[in-house]
Structures are given as C-alpha cells and as structure tokens.
Amino acid sequence: MAKKTTKKKTTTKAQPKAKPTAKVKKPSFKLTSQHKLIFGSLLIIIGLLLFISFLSFVFTGKEDQSVLHNFPERSTEYKNWASQLGAWVSDFFITKGFGLPSFIFSGLIFLSGVYVTLNLNKAKLRKHWIWGTLIVIWLSILFGFFTHKFDLLGGTIGFEMNTFFQDYIGKIGTVLLLVFGLIAYLAIRFKVTGESILNTFKRAKTSIKEDLKSEEKEKEPTIIFDNNLTEEAEAIKSAFEIPLEKTEPTITKHSAPTTKTEVKAENLTMEVTEKPKEETVDVPELKVEVEAIEEEKSEADNLSDKLVEDFGQFDPTLELSKYQFPPLDLLKKYDNEGISIDQEELEENKNRIVETLNNYKIGISSIKATIGPTVTLYEIVPEAGIRISKIKNLEDDIALSLAALGIRIIAPIPGKGTIGIEVPNKNSTIVSMRSVIASQKFQKSEMQLPIAFGKTISNETFVVDLAKMPHLLMAGATGQGKSVGLNAVLTSLLYKKHPAEVKFVLVDPKKVELTLFNKIERHYLAKLPDSEEAIITDNTKVINTLNSLCIEMDNRYEMLKNAFCRNIAEYNAKFKARKLNPNDGHAFLPYIVLVVDEFADLIMTAGKEVETPIARLAQLARAIGIHLIIATQRPSVNVITGIIKANFPARIAFRVTSKIDSRTILDGSGADQLIGRGDMLYTQGNELIRLQCAFVDTPEVEKITEFIGAQKAYPDAHLLPEYVGEEGGTNLDIDISDRDKLFREAAELIVTAQQGSASLLQRKLKLGYNRAGRIIDQLEAAGIVGNFEGSKARQVLVPDLVALDQLLENENNQ
Ligand SMILES: Nc1ncnc2c1ncn2[C@@H]1O[C@H](COP(=O)(O)OP(=O)(O)OP(=O)(O)O)[C@@H](O)[C@H]1O
C-alpha cells in the first residue's frame, strides 16, 4: 500500500515537468499605496457602518424582525439606522450568529482598515483576528449560558453551543470549560503563570499587612527623643515634664531654633533638647516605592531582538554546517603509553640523592617523588638551617652522581617550601596526541583557542589558551621536537575549532614541515589575494603577508571601535546576536593564527622588514584575534631581539645546546638541561613548567588533513587584505627628502666596497630585499651607481668617500 501511494505522489509531482514551457505568470496581489488607501478606507467605513447597524439593531431589531423576510424589497421600511442592509446584516451576525459579541467583528474590520491604510505589520493584524474570533466564540458561549432561547445576548451559535455542551457535560462542565478557556487565554496572551498569580497574592497580602500595621501605629502616640537616654536621664527627663499630649510623632527641622537646658543630677550632665512645637512639621509615614526601571531598549536593540527571534542567532558555521570534526580514531594509540612505576629505579635515585647531599653535609628531613612521563620529580625538604643556594650550586655534582642527563634543580619550587630535583626516567613513555585530545580537560575546555600541549610532570594534561598567551615563541635546537610541537598546536585547534572560527597563516621557509596543511587550504588557511599557494615559503612574500596582517589588524580595530567592543570575543558575540549590521561593514571575525616555522632564516634575510610588522602585530593584535606562533632553531639574540622578546611573554623551550641559548629564550637556564624528544619548558611570564610535549606523527597529521580536506570547503582560502608592496616603482626622480634613512650609510658602504649590489646592503645593513632594492634605486637616481646590468653588479660611479661627500653636499646646496 505504502508503495502505491509513494508512486502516485511521484507521478503527480512529475507532471509539471512534462510541460516546462507553459510558464504561467502568477498574478501579483501587491497593492500600491493608493490601492491601500482606497481598500483601507473602505474597510474602515464598513467597520463603522457595521457598528452603527449593530448598535441600532439592539434597539430596533425587534421591530425590524417582521419585515426582514422582505429583504431586498425596496419599498419596505426599516427602523435600523442603516436601513435594509443594516437590519439584515445585524440579524445575520447577532441573531443568527454570535449575539452581542459580534460587535467585536465590526471593531476588527475597522482595525483592518487602519492597518491596510497605514501599511502596518500584517502579522499583528492576523493575531488580532485570531484572538478576536476566539473571544467572540467564548463570549457568545458565556452569554448563551444565561439565556434560554435564541436572543441578542449569545446569538444562535452561543445558544446552540451551550445546549450542545450542556447535553454532554452538564452545566457545571460547561462553566468549567469556560473557566478553562479563560485561563488558557490569559496564559497564552498575557503570559500569566502560576507563579505570577502566587506572587500577586503574596504582594497583596504583605501590603494589606503593612497597611494594618501603619494604621495601628498612627493610633499610638510616640515620643521621639534626640538621644538614647540612660535610665537615669530618663527619670530626669520625665521629671522635666514634657506633657505627653504635646509630643506627637515629629520630625524636627534642623534649622529650627532649639532651647537647651542643662540638667544636673548626681554629677551627670545631660543636655535635653526641647523642641519648640510650632517648628515641627507633621510628616505622614512615608512608604518607599521601589520602581525598577528597565533600561529602555533602543530601536537597534528591538530590531536585533526581532531578527534573533525570527532567524535565531547568527551562526558562522552555517556555510559549512555539515562539517565534521576529525574523529579521535585518526590519532594513533601507543603501546608504551601510561606510566609504569619502577620501584627499584625510584629507590635507587632516592638513595643517590640523599647520599650525594649528605656528602656535602646537607641533611634532608623528607623526600617525595612524583612520576611524570619522562621525568620524576623528587621533592626534598632540607633540614632547618640549610641554605638553598648551596643545593642549587651542587646541581652538576648531583647530576654526576646520578649519572643522568637532564637533571634540573628547582630551588625552591614556587609556591611550596620544597626543593625539586627532576631526574629523567630510564624508560620514558610517550604522550600521545590522542590521549591529550581525548582528555576531559581539553574536551570540556571553554577556551577561545585551546591547545593541548602535553602532560606535566605530575602526568596531568596541560591545556592553555592561545588567545590568553597571546603570542608564543618556540625555540629549541634541531631535532628536539619543535615541529612536533607546532603540529600539536595546529592539531589541537583543528580538533576544537570549526573552519569558520579560526584561520591559519603558515610560513614555512623550510618548505617541508607544513606542506601537509595544503590540503585544508580552503577550510582553514588564509592567504594574500594574488598568491597561488597558501603556505608561504618565499621570504619576500612573508613581508607582504605580515604587512597585510597589519592592515587586517587596523581594519579590525576600526570595526571594533564602530561596534563599541573591546575585543574580538565581545564583537563576535554582538555580531551573533545580530546587533551589528553587515551592511555597515561588519562581519564575523575568525581568529587568525600566524605560524612561522623558521624565524631565524627570515630575520637573517629580511631583518627589520619582518621585525617591525611582527613587533607591531605582537604589541597590538591580541584584542582583535591575531595570534603569532614563532619557532626558531637558533635562539640567539640577533634572532630573538629585545623587541620580539618583550612582546612574547609565552615561550616554549625545547632542548638547546648552551646555557646562553636557554637564557635568551627563558631568561634563565634550564632548557640546556632538558633531555630532548619533546621534553620542554613552558613559561607564560612567571614560573617555568616542565612538560612532555604530546607526540603527533606526520602520518597522523596527514590523515587529519585528508579527512578535513575531503569535506565540502569554502570556495577559496580566507583572503587577507591586499598589500601593495613597493617592489615595482623604479622612479629615478626620487626626491631627496624621500630617501631612505640609511641612504647615506648605504652610499658609503657601496663606495667603500666599490660594488653596487643590493645583496651587499642586505647583508651589511641587515635589510630586506625590497628595502635594499629601493636604496639602490635611490643611489642610481643620485648618480652614485650606474644602470641595472642584468646579473652583473652595478658600476659604482663615485671613486671614494671624499667624492661622495662632495656630491651629496652639492645636492644639498642646490
Ligand atoms: N613529543 C615527542 N615525543 C616523542 N618523541 C618526540 C617528540 N617530539 C619529537 N620527538 C622525536 O624527535 C624527532 C624530531 O622532532 P622534530 O622533527 O619535531 O624536531 P625539530 O626540532 O622540528 O627539528 P628541526 O628543527 O630539524 O625540524 C621526531 O622525529 C621524534 O622522533
């Protein structure tokens, strides 16, 4: 059977397809403003006429009853003020219809006229009609209840329905049904609830009580004295006779002159202030009425509320609503996961620590071990009177006696009165990405950009918010786990954030590490409008991208300013609540995470040209959701410059080879004592936390990106604002005042070396390619170097520095 019906349906559906050409133009019922005025006023008049007829029918209906059947005979005389038609229509609505409640219909028709004329909200009018009709029916049944024949009150319908109900559920049943109808009406229309009724009763009860109390009070005369008098003073006061009948509830005007009398009794001096009666003012008991005034909603608020009511909150993920987050199964499980306690190793290490310290006359009162995935922390409490610095100085000796690499001494452990000695485990366990992603901490995190880095020394999953960092500097010697660390960061975000919420800008000068992410270009990556590849491997492009990000930052600040928001979270919340109009240039803003895999390479070749925008972004971008992650193999001071360091409070150090490098990253030693393979130190400005970085292998990342890449994507990568680099413009008429600040220095360098090449400037002055090229152009314009000669270096036209000085001076004198 079911099959049959479906078949039928399909055939009927298919029918219109058979005649595709027969396109019938639907008649349009849209009224023009003039039509609306005509139609609306007609309805108003009909409404009025109906009202007049009905009203007249109440008085003349009986008289017209006998002649009604003559309708529409012209000669018959009717008493109704609207004559034949009035009498007939009224009879139809009132006697044969709903009785007196029919008046409501005339009102509804009148109202419809007003709505049409003034082009008001049709939905509301519809509501009025629905509710109006229901009220008519209800009233008609109610009125019908009190009548026993067809009469004016409830009309035929009211009477008939009453008899119908009474036959089936009796009189009581009908009354209860009517009461139910009333309750349902109040509940739906006026949002009345059981609680609100209860509250009204409660309020009424307390106000009656208060009224009663105040009345009683008014009856009792009260005496108000200035001071709280002691018993003694009380006695004196009564002796001082203030007649009771004169004292009334009073409030004294402060300006009133008062008579002071000093009374002495048993060495006690008391001042009694007598209040002159005429200065008192009777004040009725004041009741404070508290009125909570709700802030009036602005028009924009009302509009946004309505939009949210109609369409729900704005959902940024709507375009890719079917997007599925990568499942956990794509991540590998490891056999040697989970911590195994080697009791023997623990005991051995403990004994060695105690022995070594004893050799240096350091007594220990207690020792405790916390086992982590790669290291075990021995917390010792030294005996009283032992200086901490003494233990700290013995770091190397303890390491030697424990015969282990990677011993780190924390003296004292911040927040605890103990000293920590971290000793690497003989058999370290892997912290899989799967285990940290699956952890409750990560899954339930409400952070804006949660990152599951790995596990702490006490084997707890460590999750931090990149948005709070707000930028991250990552350093470590080659092969110590930086790339894995970066992948862990990106994987965390991929498992938690929808493509609409976060975009990555990936810079990978090594050209190998981040290529896997190419597959998710149209989901998660952002790029310059004119570039083909989203992952940037070319240093000159990096400069353009960084500058473009600066423009994006400025744009976003402007948007935030116009929306009166302080940060991206507030802005996006407001946008989701439809309080910001996309027509005013507002849009949902995804977070942008810039990842630079090899920063050293970049800063060596492009110098200030990357440092400046990076520093600018680092200083300002936190509020508008652009976050930087910068990794480097070479943590030397010319790579991690002061300005970069100052703006990257969150840092991660993998193992480095020297104490100096460790100091450059962490402002202290420690990174040189790590054991490598993802063993790392994390700081966000204060204490150092030792972590084992979660391990995510390349095949795992590949699976994740493949899973995402196979799904429906946006048409293109997220486009950053266009940045017009100044590479082109070889303008030979360069104004002297427009010259680069380093122009003179560059000229001297070129003249001294007698070699007109841009790369020389790049190397010696640490300039970027673009800037060096621009200076060369300026030198050419000044006549210091010759024309561009292909691959050959340009000819230097000034023989020495003296000649150069002369040339430049002549220029200035011109
Ligand atoms: N968290 C970790 N857990 C276990 N092993 C790790 C971890 N991180 C890195 N390793 C091991 O160290 C090796 C090198 O790691 P990685 O490629 O991340 O180093 P790197 O610092 O990026 O080196 P480079 O700078 O040369 O690219 C990995 O192949 C892996 O075997």
Residue nearest (by alpha carbon) to ligand 1 atom 14:
479
Q: Which domains are assigned to the chain? A: 33-189 (no CATH), 223-281 (no CATH), 343-424 (3.30.980.40), 450-719 (3.40.50.300), 736-813 (1.10.10.10)
- The whole-number average pLDDT for the span 228-244 is 39
Distance (angstroms) between ligand 1 centre and the Cα of 540 equals 28
Q: Is 275 known as a binding-site position? A: no
Atom of ligand 1 nearest to the CA of 694: 1
Q: Picking from 186-195, 234-243, 302-311, 462-471, which range would have the lowest pLDDT averaged per residue?
A: 234-243
- Quick check: 280 pLDDT over 50? no
Q: What is the pLDDT of residue 721?
A: 86
Atom of ligand 1 nearest to the CA of 481: 18
Q: Dump pLDDT digits (tens) for 339-383.
A: 677 788 888 888 888 888 888 888 888 888 888 888 888 888 888
Of 128-137, 234-243, 380-389, 720-729, which one has max mean pLDDT? Answer: 128-137
Q: Is residue 248 within 8 Å of 221, Cβ to Cβ?
A: yes
Of 90-94, 552-556, 773-777, which one has max mean pLDDT? Answer: 552-556
Q: Is 454 known as a binding-site position? A: no
Distance (angstroms) between ligand 1 centre and the Cα of 593 equals 22
Q: Picking from 238-252, 574-588, 601-615, which range would have the lowest pLDDT averaged per residue?
A: 238-252
- Residue 295 corresponds to which tokens in the numbers above? 């802030």
Pocket test for ligand 1, best of 337, 435, 455, 480 (most atoms within 8 A of CB): 480
Buried b (16+ CB within 10 A) or exposed e, 752-762: eeeebbbebbb
DSSP result, 391-448: HHHTHHHHHHHHT-S--EEESSPTTSSSEEEEEE-SS----BHHHHHHSHHHHT---S
As a whole-number percent, the residues of the chain with pLDDT over 90 amount to 17
Q: What is the pLDDT of residue 311?
A: 67
Q: Is 406 known as a binding-site position? A: no
Q: Picking from 9-18, 116-125, 286-295, 445-454, which range would have the lowest pLDDT averaged per residue?
A: 9-18
Of 15-19, 169-173, 199-203, 439-443, which one has max mean pLDDT? Answer: 439-443
Q: Which residue has the higher pLDDT, 140 or 283?
A: 140
Query: 149: pLDDT confidence band, cut at 50, 70 and 90?
Result: low
Q: Is 673 known as a binding-site position? A: no
Of 149-153, 211-215, 705-709, which one has max mean pLDDT? Answer: 705-709
- Distance from first CA to last CA of the chain, Å, rounded? 102
- The whole-number average pLDDT for the span 670-676 is 86
Phi, psi of 295 (to 5 degrees): -60, 130
Q: What is the pLDDT of residue 504?
A: 94
Kindly report the number of other CB atoms within 10 A of residue 560's CB atom: 21
772: nearest Cα among 638, 582, 609:
609
The rounded distance, in Å, linking the Cα atoms of 803 and 379 is 71
Pocket of ligand 1 (CB under 6 A): 430, 476, 478-484, 633, 677-678, 693, 695
Residue nearest (by alpha carbon) to ligand 1 atom 30:
677
- Quick check: 437 pLDDT over 50? yes
Distance (angstroms) between ligand 1 centre and the Cα of 485 equals 8
Q: Is residue 106 within 8 Å of 123, Cβ to Cβ?
A: no
Residue nearest (by alpha carbon) to ligand 1 atom 28:
481
Q: What is the pLDDT of residue 528?
A: 87
Q: What is the pLDDT of residue 1?
A: 37
Residue nearest (by alpha carbon) to ligand 1 atom 18:
481
Q: What is the pLDDT of residue 90?
A: 86
Distance (angstroms) between ligand 1 centre and the Cα of 655 equals 11
Distance (angstroms) between ligand 1 centre and the Cα of 678 equals 6
Distance (angstroms) between ligand 1 centre and the Cα of 483 equals 6
Q: What is the pLDDT of residue 250?
A: 36
Q: What is the pLDDT of residue 386?
A: 78
Residue nearest (by alpha carbon) to ligand 1 atom 9:
481
Distance (angstroms) between ligand 1 centre and the Cα of 592 equals 26
Atom of ligand 1 nearest to the CA of 633: 25
Average pLDDT value for the chain:
78
Q: Dump pLDDT digits (tens) for 616-625.
A: 898 888 889 9
Q: Is 230 known as a binding-site position? A: no
Q: Dump pLDDT digits (tens) for 509-543.
A: 877 778 889 889 999 999 888 788 889 888 778 88
Maximum Cα interatomic distance, the chain, rounded to a whole number of Å: 134
Task: Give the amino acid at 786.
Answer: G
Residue nearest (by alpha carbon) to ligand 1 atom 6:
677
Name the one residue in this structure whose structure tokens are 């329905």: 161
Q: Is 481 left (phi over 0), alpha (psi -120 to 50) or beta?
A: left
- Quick check: 291 pLDDT over 60? no
Pocket test for ligand 1, best of 484, 511, 632 (most atoms within 8 A of CB): 484
Q: What is the pLDDT of residue 325?
A: 92
Distance (angstroms) between ligand 1 centre and the Cα of 786 equals 50
Q: Which ipTM value was assigned to this complex?
A: 0.96
**Distances from the Cα of 568 to the Cα of 4, 451, 720, angstroms:** 57, 19, 17
Phi, psi of 505 (to 5 degrees): -115, 115
- Quick check: 228 pLDDT over 90? no
Q: Which residue has the higher pLDDT, 295 or 149?
A: 149
Q: What is the pLDDT of residue 728?
A: 43
Distance (angstroms) between ligand 1 centre and the Cα of 482 equals 6
Question: Which residues neighbour 37 within 8 Å (Cβ) at sequence distance 6 or greater?
Answer: 117
Q: What is the pLDDT of residue 54?
A: 87
Atom of ligand 1 nearest to the CA of 679: 1
DSSP reduced 3-state for 652: strand
Q: What is the pLDDT of residue 409?
A: 82
- Quick check: 219 pLDDT over 60? no
Q: Please state at what angle helix 33-65 crosses helix 103-118, rounded to 10 degrees.
A: 170
Q: Dump pLDDT digits (tens) for 65-96.
A: 777 776 767 777 777 887 888 888 888 888 88
DSSP result, 280-308: EE--PPP-PPP--PPPPPPHHHHHHHHHH
Atom of ligand 1 nearest to the CA of 431: 3
Q: What is the pLDDT of residue 584?
A: 80
Residue nearest (by alpha carbon) to ligand 1 atom 5:
677
Q: Which residue has the higher pLDDT, 733 or 370?
A: 370
**Class of residue 39 by CB neighbours under 10 A (exposed 0-12, middle 13-18, buried 19+):** middle
Q: Is residue 471 within 8 Å of 647, Cβ to Cβ?
A: yes
The rounded distance, in Å, linking the Cα atoms of 123 and 379 is 73
The rounded distance, in Å, linking the Cα atoms of 678 and 692 is 6
Residue nearest (by alpha carbon) to ligand 1 atom 11:
677
- The whole-number average pLDDT for the span 594-598 is 90
Q: Picking from 98-102, 243-247, 296-300, 608-612, which range would have the lowest pLDDT averaged per residue?
A: 243-247
Q: Dump pLDDT digits (tens) for 241-264.
A: 333 333 333 333 343 343 333 333
Q: Dump pLDDT digits (tens) for 317-335.
A: 878 888 889 999 899 888 7
Q: Is 756 known as a binding-site position? A: no
584: nearest Cα among 594, 574, 592:
574
Phi, psi of 681 (to 5 degrees): -115, 135
- Quick check: 757 pLDDT over 50? yes
Q: What is the pLDDT of residue 262?
A: 39
Distance (angstroms) between ligand 1 centre and the Cα of 398 equals 28
Atom of ligand 1 nearest to the CA of 695: 1
Q: Is 194 known as a binding-site position? A: no
The rounded distance, in Å, linking the Cα atoms of 500 and 325 is 12
**Class of residue 512 by CB neighbours under 10 A (exposed 0-12, middle 13-18, buried 19+):** exposed
Q: Which residue has the higher pLDDT, 722 or 729?
A: 722
For residue 273, the cross-strand partners are 260
Query: CA 290, 293, 298 angle in degrees (round to 5)?
Result: 180
Q: Is 653 left (phi over 0), alpha (psi -120 to 50) or beta?
A: beta
Distance (angstroms) between ligand 1 centre and the Cα of 395 equals 27
Task: Give the amino acid at 713.
Answer: A
The rounded distance, in Å, linking the Cα atoms of 239 and 620 is 79
Pocket test for ligand 1, best of 437, 629, 677 (most atoms within 8 A of CB): 677
Query: 494: pLDDT confidence band, cut at 50, 70 and 90?
Result: very high
Q: What is the pLDDT of residue 395?
A: 74
Distance (angstroms) between ligand 1 centre and the Cα of 693 equals 10
Query: 269: pLDDT confidence band, cut at 50, 70 and 90?
Result: very low
Q: What is the pLDDT of residue 8?
A: 39
- The whole-number average pLDDT for the span 559-574 is 90
Phi, psi of 233 (to 5 degrees): -60, -35
- Quick check: 468 pLDDT over 80? yes
- The whole-number average pLDDT for the span 14-22 is 39
> What H or E segment, with its residue span, contains residue 117?
helix 103-118
- The whole-number average pLDDT for the span 776-792 is 78
Query: 627: pLDDT confidence band, cut at 50, 70 and 90?
Result: very high
